């Protein structure tokens, strides 16, 4: 049985006709220069004076550490683990983490969402993160950002990520362990995520969006998708997709979300063999939904205690 608990503190504005989503935003132009994926060290390190040097655009090695040239300057990757996203033939490593730009790994583990599998039949470029830590992403990134580590924060700081054959950002179980993957997206400045094939951002287990920045998502399937828990703590999020947000459990405590969906606006559901109870919990923030089907849909419970929810379409069924 479905249960819907809505308190008086929540403002619900319902429309029976579509009047448009006033929080859709404008997608910025794609940056012309290649972007950067940079691991942020947890401890302050003093950079040796001779690590930067003007050289030609060729790769070299020094004492086991690979050095990757970007423009006319090389960066010692043992200090910053930084790479241009266009250097697809290089593996950039450090003692504290790894960022690679390589063809997609073979035989990936399927995501634990309700109806999603990871495609295995393409040879596209993937930007892989397989070590825990915090990574800053800025500029234009071509291809999927694949996160296989268990505890990763991605700081999107003026990033423009475009993927033509999968989810633009994908969290997956890289080692087959039972540990729940924690993927955090922190927003700074204005950011854009585009997926022509699948979801905008997809978490294998738990996915959290936070930060004071802006995120524009355009996706063929779901804008935000989590295999288990999806938290929206803050941020200005604009989604244009088949379905805006989908997870087993969705928690919105703050931020501003604008959704323009061809299907449901937000949905909580599980697979046939799951014993988990789907849940949507809204305790803050504002949500503005324009959709062709259900604005708020759950096969379990819906609890709205505070915040603002505006739906242009069917509110809940």
Least trusted range by pLDDT, from 110-119, 159-168, 266-275, 293-302: 110-119
Report yes or no on 52 lying in a domain.
no
Domain region containing 177: 3-43+67-316
The pLDDT value given to residue 314 = 75
Q: Which of 164, 134, 129, 165 lies closest to 145 in space, CA to CA? A: 129
| Mean pLDDT, rounded, for 259-269 | 97
> Do residues 269 and 114 lie in contact, with contact meaning Cβ atoms separated by under 8 Å?
yes
The pLDDT value given to residue 174 = 64
The pLDDT value given to residue 271 = 82
Beta-carbon count within 10 A of 299 CB: 14
For the cut 50, the answer to whether the pLDDT of residue 111 exceeds it is no
Report yes or no on 163 lying in a domain.
yes
Which has more confidence, 24 or 150? 150
DSSP state at residue 79? H
> What's the mean per-residue pLDDT of the chain?
75
Report yes or no on 57 lying in a domain.
no
Least trusted range by pLDDT, from 100-109, 178-187, 247-256, 294-303: 100-109
The pLDDT value given to residue 305 = 95
Say if residue 306 is exposed, middle or buried (CB neighbours under 10 Å; 0-12, 13-18, 19+).
middle
With pLDDT > 90 as the criterion, what percentage of the chain qualifies?
A: 56
Report yes or no on 30 lying in a domain.
yes
Report yes or no on 56 lying in a domain.
no
β-strand partners of 146? 128, 170
| Mean pLDDT, rounded, for 68-91 | 34
CA distance 148 to 221: 22
Report yes or no on 49 lying in a domain.
no
The pLDDT value given to residue 24 = 42
**164-202 pLDDT tens trace:** 999 999 999 766 668 899 999 999 999 999 999 999 999
Q: How confident is the model at residue 282 (pLDDT cuts 50, 70, 90)?
A: very high
Q: Which of 282, 304, 168, 182 lies closest to 223 in space, CA to CA? A: 168
Q: Which residues contact 246 (CB under 8 A, 6 or more apart)?
A: 113, 114, 222, 224, 225, 226, 264, 266, 267, 268, 269
Report yes or no on 54 lying in a domain.
no
Report yes or no on 51 lying in a domain.
no
For the cut 50, the answer to whether the pLDDT of residue 14 exceeds it is no
| Mean pLDDT, rounded, for 149-175 | 93
Task: List, edge to edge, every strand of the sheet that includes 73-76.
Answer: 60-62, 65-70, 73-76
For the cut 50, the answer to whether the pLDDT of residue 224 exceeds it is yes
Q: Which of 184, 193, 181, 144 lies closest to 40 in space, CA to CA? A: 184
Give the SS3 label for residue 186.
strand
> What total number of domains does the chain contain?
1
Q: How confident is the model at residue 227 (pLDDT cuts 50, 70, 90)?
A: very high
CA distance 144 to 231: 22
Q: How confident is the model at residue 163 (pLDDT cuts 50, 70, 90)?
A: very high
């Amino acid at each position: 049985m479905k249960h819907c608990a809505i308190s008086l503190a929540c403002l619900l504005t319902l429309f029976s006709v579509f009047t448009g989503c006033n929080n859709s935003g404008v997608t910025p132009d794609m940056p012309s220069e290649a972007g950067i994926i940079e691991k942020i060290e947890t401890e302050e390190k003093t950079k040796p004076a001779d690590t930067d040097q003007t050289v030609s655009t060729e790769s070299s090695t020094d004492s086991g550490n690979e050095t990757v040239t970007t423009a006319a300057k090389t960066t010692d990757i043992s200090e910053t683990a930084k790479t241009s996203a266009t250097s697809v033939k290089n593996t950039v490593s450090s003692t504290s983490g790894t960022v690679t730009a390589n063809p997609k790994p073979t035989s990936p583990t399927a995501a634990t969402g309700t109806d999603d599998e990871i495609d295995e039949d393409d040879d596209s470029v993937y930007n892989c993160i397989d070590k825990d830590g915090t990574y800053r992403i800025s500029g234009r990134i071509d291809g999927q950002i694949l996160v296989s580590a268990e505890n990763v924060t991605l700081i999107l700081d003026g990033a423009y990520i475009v993927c033509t054959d999968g989810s633009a950002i994908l969290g997956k179980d890289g080692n087959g362990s039972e540990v729940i993957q924690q993927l955090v997206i922190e927003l700074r400045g204005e950011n854009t995520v585009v997926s022509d094939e699948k979801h905008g951002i997809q978490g294998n287990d738990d996915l959290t969006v936070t930060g004071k920045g802006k995120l524009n998502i355009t996706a063929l399937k779901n804008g935000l998708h989590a295999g288990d828990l999806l938290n929206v703590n803050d941020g200005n999020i604009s989604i244009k997709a088949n379905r805006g947000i989908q997870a087993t459990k969705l928690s919105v405590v703050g931020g501003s979300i604008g959704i323009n969906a061809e299907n449901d606006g937000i949905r909580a559901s599980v697979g046939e063999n799951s014993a988990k109870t789907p849940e949507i919990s809204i305790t803050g923030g504002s949500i503005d939904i324009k959709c062709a089907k259900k604005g708020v849909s759950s096969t379990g419970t819906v609890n709205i205690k505070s915040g603002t929810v505006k739906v242009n379409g069917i509110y809940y069924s």
